[in-house]
Amino acid sequence: MLQVYYGENNNNNMNNIGLKLILTILIAVFLAVCFNKCSNADSNAFAEAKHNNTTYKYEQFIEKYPNSPLISSAYEALYTLTKEVGTISAFREFADKYPNTSQAENAKKMAMEICDKEYESAVNQNTIDGWKDYKTKVPPDDIRDADQRILEIENSAWKTEKMAWDQVLLLENAENLSKYLKLFPTGTHRKQAEKKLIDLEVANVLNGEHGNLPSMDRNYSGGYGSSTSTIRVENQTSYTLTLLYSGRDSKRLVLSPGCSESITLHNGTYRIAASVDAGGVRNYGGTEQLDGDNYSVSYYISSHY
């Protein structure tokens, strides 16, 4: 009779099953250990972020562990710090960095609410300083009609000639003087404004970088002892020449190319500035003493290489 023995095969099968079972258990243990280590890593990182409680630490955690079960808590903690900062830029930055979070929409709303409050505050003050302060606190893209409001306030202070002149006296600069003359060309203070403006313009030229004007020629025509002096000016340049005389009298003389003209001034010391309507040509300045006679001077431009 043919006999078949299964004992050895059975043992082999049992051994294979045992090995597979052991391998499965080892893999499960390995995965459990790895998972536990990963869980501990993000837990430790989040604990460290909470301990430091800084924006930087929470942002570090979010970047390194985007899939952590603690990610929502990290977003909430970061948003709490953002609220403590409480600025428009802080809320905007949060919303831009984390647009898919539940806090992003609130951050946008908070930014807009601050913009609205700053605008309301500026409207209530309605002063130039208030609107300028508003422009420093709100991002450029969110600024409303601040410049228009400032212009309206400025113009309201120039409605009458008296108000306009008060503005000039409050801040005596070239801008205000020019504005007064433009708004009130025949105003009561026109001559005073023109003199002040010329004096300022001459001072600016002489206080800055400038060339030296050639001295005038005195003609000794017998006018000595007179209270006024007459100057004959010739423009030998190819440009429109502007001369400013600042002293007892303050006058402006504008000469076209090739033209000559005379100007009469009361005697005294005068500061003089000259300029032409051409780029690359510097201003010139100097001082002259007028003693009651006739003077003459010719201006031309020479090139040096």
Domain that holds residue 187: 156-204
Digit-coded pLDDT (tens) for 168-195 = 999 999 999 999 999 999 999 999 999 9
Establish if 138 belongs to a structural domain.
no
- The pLDDT, as a whole number, for residue 155 is 87
- Confidence bin at 20 (pLDDT 50/70/90): low
Residues 293 and 215 in one domain: yes
- The pLDDT, as a whole number, for residue 34 is 47
Mean pLDDT across 1-12 = 50
Q: What percent of the chain has pLDDT over 70?
A: 85
| Structural domain count of the chain | 2
Residues 168 and 242 in one domain: no
Establish if 40 belongs to a structural domain.
no
User: Which residue, of 146, 173, 204, is where some domain finishes?
Assistant: 204
Digit-coded pLDDT (tens) for 223-262 = 567 899 999 999 999 999 999 999 999 999 999 999 999 9
Mean pLDDT across 196-201 = 97
User: Which residue, of 176, 204, 232, is where some domain finishes?
Assistant: 204
pLDDT: is 159 or 18 the higher one? Answer: 159
Residues 226 and 274 in one domain: yes
- The pLDDT, as a whole number, for residue 4 is 46
Establish if 284 belongs to a structural domain.
yes
Establish if 52 belongs to a structural domain.
no
Total-model pTM: 0.58
Establish if 285 belongs to a structural domain.
yes
Establish if 80 belongs to a structural domain.
no
User: Which residue, of 204, 233, 266, is where some domain finishes?
Assistant: 204
What's the chain look like in SS3? CCCCCCHHHHHHHHHHHHHHHHHHHHHHHHHHHHHHHHHHHHHHHHHHHHHHCCHHHHHHHHHHCCCCCCHHHHHHHHHHHHHHHCCHHHHHHHHHHCCCCCCHHHHHHHHHHHHHHHHHHHHHHCCHHHHHHHHHHCCHHHCCCHHHHHHHHHHHCCCCHHHHHHHHHHCCCHHHHHHHHHHCCCCCCHHHHHHHHHHHHHHHHHHCCCEECCCCEECCCCCCCCCEEEEEEEECCCCCEEEEEECCCEEEEEECCCCEEEEEEECEEEEEEEEECCCCCCCEEEEEEECCCEEEEEECCCCCC
- Burial-class residue 201 by CB neighbours within 10 Å (0-12, 13-18, 19+): buried
Query: Closest Cα to residue 142, out of 94, 89, 99?
Result: 89
Residues 196 and 237 in one domain: no
**pLDDT greater than 80 at residue 26:** no
Residues 256 and 196 in one domain: no
Digit-coded pLDDT (tens) for 58-94 = 999 999 999 999 999 999 999 999 999 999 999 999 9
